Structure 1
Amino acid sequence: MRTPERTAGAGMLRDVAAIGAAMAAVGASFGAVAVAAGLPAWGVVAMSLLVYAGGAQFMAVGLAAAGNPVAAVLAGLLLNARHLPFGLTLGDTLGRRLWQRLLGSHLMTDETTAFTLARPAGDLRRRAFWLAGTLLFVAWNAGTVLGVLAGGVAGDPAALGLDAAFPAGLIALLLPTLRDRDIRRAAVGGAAVAVLTTPVLPAGLPVLLALAGPALLAVHRLRRPPVTPIAETVEPSGEAHPVASEAVPAGRKEQSC
């Protein structure tokens, strides 16, 4: 018989493999595009190993090919600034040791973060992070090597429709959390801000401004009044029954008869 832990592990592996297949394909496209832009093969492979940020890597290659490497570095830093709230959210999941935090921060991507937060906090979430982070890192770098070796065979990911694979995967991972009404409002608000500011702001800034939605949700929940505790009365038989107690506003004294 299969234990619940083994069943959950098999399900996570299947889900990560589906995302990893798309990541390997886009990695192959990146390798081919970067080599075609004139970057050396060793530099392309080193970028995927050391930078490991798909959108920032494509942007850096485009700007470097246009003869503006400084802009490539600044744009990459701006685009990857969204990883700061990711780190705050997953801090406890990575572990307490320094090497765990350093390695975990390098493996942290949009897909890994969404995949991890879809699991309940604890050991299951920790296993989900390291499984997704490791397999997706291997898939991206293996795809990059294949793209470098294949040259221009891989083609443009946008022309093949592969650029839609990651947003679709992220939406599928985040759907269970949208059952909460407040989270739905925060998601819609953040998405609206990102869509409205994309035509007028540099790449990367709309994503950061979209964090206004979750920020407002956090403020709203901090200001929400605490729930009144339910008192229990014990019957002579020893059976406890909940009794709803009416909350009394602060500053109001009870009147005695």
Structure 2
Amino acid sequence: MAAMPAARPVRHILQSAAPIAIAVFVFGVSFGVLAVAARLPGWSVVLMSILVFAGSAQFAALGVVTAGGSVLTAILAGALLNLRYIATGMAVARSLPGGRLRRALLGQIVVDESYALSVAAGEPGRPDRRTLLTVGATLYTVWVLGTLTGTLLGPVLGDPKRLGLDAAFPALFLALLWPMLSGRHAVRCALGGAAVALLLAPFTPPGIPLAGAALVGLWLAR
């Protein structure tokens, strides 16, 4: 009988997650600053990070609100970006302990980065549970703290354009998109979504182009 692999020490897991945690904290600060600049109440911004914990979805929703879109459109844009977590949740379900309710609550801290590190540390087809939960809890904590810091710094910093933080939206989505353009099919999905967004932008309310691009991208990726 083969010996079970030794569990990774938490200290080693935290060391591997440290660079990601720093980046997540900085993005959290940017999100908080931009949200306060968009005249959203600080408490609601922090609450959003506590309940949602999805940077791309939160930035997308904030972008829609900042551009003058409705709350419903902002929620739709964020929800479409989070559809990918359905597949992620199915992949990690067996690695989460407890019953359905506990697994659902723990699933709140499963994000792209914690999933990627847990897959790298685990066995084929089974992400490492300790890595998944340790990294997820760490990133959740620094994201919320970063958001809180941003909401406190926002009134002091003033206009985020002075610091270039207004570039956070396109920079974030370009950073998310670029590693995925690894083949012709992925490029076709990206170009299709971009074309739809450009076509809809002059004629539709803010947020609709983003939602339309996401739907077309999902349809092409099927």
TM-score interval for Structure 1 and Structure 2 normalised by the shorter chain: 0.7 to 0.9
SS at match of 1:141: helix
Structure 1 pair 208/118, CA: closer, same or farther in 2 (3 Å)? farther
Partner Cα separation in structure 1 for residue 214 and residue 43 of structure 2: 27
What is the alpha-carbon distance in structure 1 between the residues aligned to residue 169 and residue 86 of structure 2? 31
CA contact (8 A) 2:119 2:127 kept: no
In structure 1, stretches of 5+ residues that fail to align are 175-185, 213-257
1:60 to 1:167, Cα distance in 2 relative to 1, 3 A: closer
The residue type paired with residue 48 of structure 1 is: S
1:187 Cα shift?
A: 5.5
**CA contact 1:197–1:206 (8 Å) conserved in 2:** yes
Give the secondary-structure state (helix, strand or coil) at the position aligned to 1:39.
coil
Q: 1:7 to 1:67 in 2, by over 3 A?
A: closer
C-alpha separation in 1, matches of 2:12 and 2:108: 24
Kindly provide the amino acid, as one letter, of the partner of residue 96 in structure 2: L
Distance in 1 (CA, whole Å) between partners of 2:9 and 2:166 is 32
Secondary structure of 1:204's counterpart equals helix
Letter in 2 for 1:47: M
Please tell me whether Structure 1 or Structure 2 has the larger radius of gyration of its CA atoms.
Answer: 1
| Structure 1 residues 125-158: Cα deviation after superposition (integer angstroms, max 9, x where no partner) | 0001001110000010010011001016374173
TM-score under structure 2 length normalisation: 0.74
The equivalent residue for 1:116 is: 118
Structure whose residues are more often helix by fraction: 2
CA contact (8 A) 1:28 1:147 kept: yes
Distance across 2 between alignment mates of 1:125 and 1:56? 26
- The alpha-carbon deviation at position 206 of structure 1 amounts to 6.1
The aligned counterpart of 1:48 is 49
**What is aligned with 1:216?**
none
Counterpart mapping for 1:52-131 below 5 A:
52-65=53-66, 66-121=68-123, 125-131=128-134
Q: Does 1:133 align with 2:136?
A: yes
Spell out the pairing of 1:1-257 with structure 2 (5 A cutoff): 5=6, 9-65=10-66, 66-121=68-123, 125-151=128-154, 153=157, 155=163, 156=165, 158=167, 163=172, 167=176, 188=183, 190-201=185-196, 202-205=212-215, 208=218, 212=222
- Quick one: structure 1 residues 91 and 190, their matched pair in 2 at CA, closer, same or farther if it must change by over 3 Å? farther
Aligned equivalents of 2:174, 2:191: Cα separation in 1: 23
In the alignment, structure 2 segments of 5+ residues that lack a partner are 197-211
| Number of residues of Structure 1 aligned to a counterpart in Structure 2 | 195
Q: Whose relative contact order is higher, 1 or 2, with alpha carbons under 8 Å and at least 6 apart? A: 2
Tell me how far apart the structure 2 counterparts of residues 205 and 160 of structure 1 sit (CA, whole Å).
19
With 69-78 and 131-140 compared, the bigger mean Cα shift is at 69-78
TM-score of the aligned structures, taking structure 1 as reference length: 0.64
Distance 1:102 1:19, change over 3 A: same
User: How far apart, in 2, do the equivalents of 1:52 and 1:11 lie?
Assistant: 24
When the two chains are superposed, the root-mean-square deviation of aligned CA atoms in Å is 3.3
